C-alpha cells in the first residue's frame, strides 16, 4: 500500500507567504509521518488551513490547474468502465472529463509517472491533461462514482435516502387515511348520539306528560331519533367493516418500525453516542433514537451539502412519520373513548329511566338505550385498550435544531 504523501516541500509556499511558520510546517509533517496520514489532512484539520489555499499551493508547486470534487459533475461512464476503485484510491488519480480526444485527469501528484502509465493502460485517449486535486477529493470521486456501499456512497446515497423518504411518505398517507376513517366514524357516532338523545328525551316526555295531544310530536321525535341513529350507525359500521378499516396497533407499530429501517444503513446508529432506550414499547424506543440523528454530518467540501441535507431531510421525515403514527394511535384512542363515553351515558340513562318509571310498554326504548350503550362501551374498549400501552410510553417530541 502506498505511504501517505507527507512531503512538506509541496507546501513551502505557505511558509513563504506567512500562512504558517516554518516550525509549524515541520511539526505538521512530523505528525503526518507519525500517524501515516497525508500532510494536507493535518494542515486542513489541525492547522485550519483553508482548502483553496492548499490547492493554490499545489497548483503553484506543480504548475498545473486545480480541480475540486463536485457531486454534480457528469463523468462519462466510458471513462470508468475499465478502472478499479481500489487502484485509483492507492494511486490517487481519477478521470473526470473527456473533451474530444483529450481526457482530463484529477491527480494528487500530476508529475508521478506511474499515474500517467496507469491512465494510458486503462483509458484510451489521444491526449491526457492533469489537474491537481487534494487527496480527499480523489477519495470522494472514487466513493461517489464507483459505487461504494451505503453509508459511504455520496451521490447514489441520496437516491437511497429519497427512496426511504418516499416510503415514509406513503406510509404517512396511509396513516392519514386511517385517521380520516376514524374521524368519519366519530362523525357517525355523533349522529348516533343525537339519535339516541332524541329517543331518550321523547321517551321521558311521553311518560311525564299527560296531554295526549302532544304524543304525535313526541313520537315524531322518536322517529327522527331512529333515523339519525340508523344514519350514524350505518356510517360507523361501514368504516368498521371496510377495506380502509384502521389497522391494529401491531400493524401500525410494525410498519412504522419498518419505515425507520433506513437509519441503520444510512445513519450508523450503532457507532453514535446514543443511549439505548429501556422502554418496553418498540415505537417509543425508536422515537428516542431520532433526536440524536437530526444532524450527523459536517460536510466538506460545500458541494457535499446536498448529501448532508438529504440525510437530515430523511431524519425529519422519520420524525414526521413517528408523529403521524402517534397521531393515528391517539385517533384510535379518541374514537374508543368517544364510544365508551357515549355508551356509558346512554346505558346509565336507560337504566335510570327503567328504574324510575318501572316496566311498561315504553320500557322497550329503555332497553334499546341500555343495549346500545353496552355495545358501544365494549366496542370502545376494543378500540382503546390495545393502544393504551403506546400512550403510556409516549416520548417527548424532538424539536429539530
> How do residues 142-198 score in pLDDT, each as one tens digit?
877 775 554 444 556 677 778 888 888 888 888 888 888 888 888 888 888 888 888
Bridge partners (DSSP) listed for residue 131: 106
Burial of 77 (0-12, 13-18, 19+ CB in 10 A): exposed
Cell of 108: 494528487
Helix (H, G, I), strand (E, B) or coil at 114: helix
Helix (H) or strand (E) segment spanning residue 104: strand 102-107
**Three-state SS at 389:** helix
* pLDDT at residue 398, rounded to an integer: 46
Structure confidence at residue 304 (pLDDT): 59
Residue 360, Cβ neighbours under 10 Å: how many? Answer: 11
> Residue holding cell 328504574?
355
CA 1 to chain centre: 40
Partners of residue 361 on adjacent β-strands: none
Look up residue 115 and give its three cell numbers: 499515474
- How far is residue 101's CA from residue 129's CA, in Å, rounded to a whole number? 11
Strand partners, 104: 97, 129
Ordered by where they begin, the domains of the chain are: 1-61 (no CATH), 64-146 (3.30.300.160), 155-392 (no CATH)
- Asked if 139 contacts 99 with a C-beta cutoff of 8 angstroms, the reply is no
Comparing CA positions, the residue from 242, 241, 188, 179 lying closest to residue 387 is: 179
Q: What pLDDT shows up at residue 81?
A: 81
107: three-class secondary structure by DSSP: strand
**pLDDT the model gives residue 128:** 92
Contact 285, 279 (CB under 8 A): yes
Number of neighbours of residue 26 by Cβ within 10 angstroms = 13
- Could you give the count of Cα atoms lying within 13 Å of 303 in the half-sphere of its Cβ? 13
The reported pLDDT for the residue numbered 394 is: 53
- How confident is the model at residue 5, as a pLDDT? 47
User: Distance (Å, rounded) from C-alpha 14 to C-alpha 51?
Assistant: 12
Tens digit of each residue's pLDDT, the chain (401 residues)? 333 444 678 888 888 888 888 888 889 888 888 888 888 888 988 888 888 899 999 999 999 999 998 777 778 888 888 888 888 988 899 999 988 889 999 999 999 899 999 989 998 889 999 999 999 899 888 877 775 554 444 556 677 778 888 888 888 888 888 888 888 888 888 888 888 888 878 878 777 776 676 778 878 888 888 888 788 888 877 777 764 456 666 777 777 877 777 776 665 555 455 555 556 666 666 666 666 555 544 545 444 566 677 777 888 888 888 888 888 888 888 888 888 888 888 888 788 878 777 777 778 878 888 888 888 888 888 888 877 766 555 555 444 44
- State the pLDDT at residue 351: 86
Helix, strand, coil percent values for the chain (each to nearest 5): 70, 5, 25
Q: What is the CA radius of gyration of the chain?
A: 35
Looking at residue 246, what is its pLDDT?
60
Complete edge-to-edge strand list for the sheet that includes strand 127-132 = 93-99, 102-107, 127-132
**3-class SS at 68?**
coil
Give the global pTM. Answer: 0.53
Amino acid at each position: 500500500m502506498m505511504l501517505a504523501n507527507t512531503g512538506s516541500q509541496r507546501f513551502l509556499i505557505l511558509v513563504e507567504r506567512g500562512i504558517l511558520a516554518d516550525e509549524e510546517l515541520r511539526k505538521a509533517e512530523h505528525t503526518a509521518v507519525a500517524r501515516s496520514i497525508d500532510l494536507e489532512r493535518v494542515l486542513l484539520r489541525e492547522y485550519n488551513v483553508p482548502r483553496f489555499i492548499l490547492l493554490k499551493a499545489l497548483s503553484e508547486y506543480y504548475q498545473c490547474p486545480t480541480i475540486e470534487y463536485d457531486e454534480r459533475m457528469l463523468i462519462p461512464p466510458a471513462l470508468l468502465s475499465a478502472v478499479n476503485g481500489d487502484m485509483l484510491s492507492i494511486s490517487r488519480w481519477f478521470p473526470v472529463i473527456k473533451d474530444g480526444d483529450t481526457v482530463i485527469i484529477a491527480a494528487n501528484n500530476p508529475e508521478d509517472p506511474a499515474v500517467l502509465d496507469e491512465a494510458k493502460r486503462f483509458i484510451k485517449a489521444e491526449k491526457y491533461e492533469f489537474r491537481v486535486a487534494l487527496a480527499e477529493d480523489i477519495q470522494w470521486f472514487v466513493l461517489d462514482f464507483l459505487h461504494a456501499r451505503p453509508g459511504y456512497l455520496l451521490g447514489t446515497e441520496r437516491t437511497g435516502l429519497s427512496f426511504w423518504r418516499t416510503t415514509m411518505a406513503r406510509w404517512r398517507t396511509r396513516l392519514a387515511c386511517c385517521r380520516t376513517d376514524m374521524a368519519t366514524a366519530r362523525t357517525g357516532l355523533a349522529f348516533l348520539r343525537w339519535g339516541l338523545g332524541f329517543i331518550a328525551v321523547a321517551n321521558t316526555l311521553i311518560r311525564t306528560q299527560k296531554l295526549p295531544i302532544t304524543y304525535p310530536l313526541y313520537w315524531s321525535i322518536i322517529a327522527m331519533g331512529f333515523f339519525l341513529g340508523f344514519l350514524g350507525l350505518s356510517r360507523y359500521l361501514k368504516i368498521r367493516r371496510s377495506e380502509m378499516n384502521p389497522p391494529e396497533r401491531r400493524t401500525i407499530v410494525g410498519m412504522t418500525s419498518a419505515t425507520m429501517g433506513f437509519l441503520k444503513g444510512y445513519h450508523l446508529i450503532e457507532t453514535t453516542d446514543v443511549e439505548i432506550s429501556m422502554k418496553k414499547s418498540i415505537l417509543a424506543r425508536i422515537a428516542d433514537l431520532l433526536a440524536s440523528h437530526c444532524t450527523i454530518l459536517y460536510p466538506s467540501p460545500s458541494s457535499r451539502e446536498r448529501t448532508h441535507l438529504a440525510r437530515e431531510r430523511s431524519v425529519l421525515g422519520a420524525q414526521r412519520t413517528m408523529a403521524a403514527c402517534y397521531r393515528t394511535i391517539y385517533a384510535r384512542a379518541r374514537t374508543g373513548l368517544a364510544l365508551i363515553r357515549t355508551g356509558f351515558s346512554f346505558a346509565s340513562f336507560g337504566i335510570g329511566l327503567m328504574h324510575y318509571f318501572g316496566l311498561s310498554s315504553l320500557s322497550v326504548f329503555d332497553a334499546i338505550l341500555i343495549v346500545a350503550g353496552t355495545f358501544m362501551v365494549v366496542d370502545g374498549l376494543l378500540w382503546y385498550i390495545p393502544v393504551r400501552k403506546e400512550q403510556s410510553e409516549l416520548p417527548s417530541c424532538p424539536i429539530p435544531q
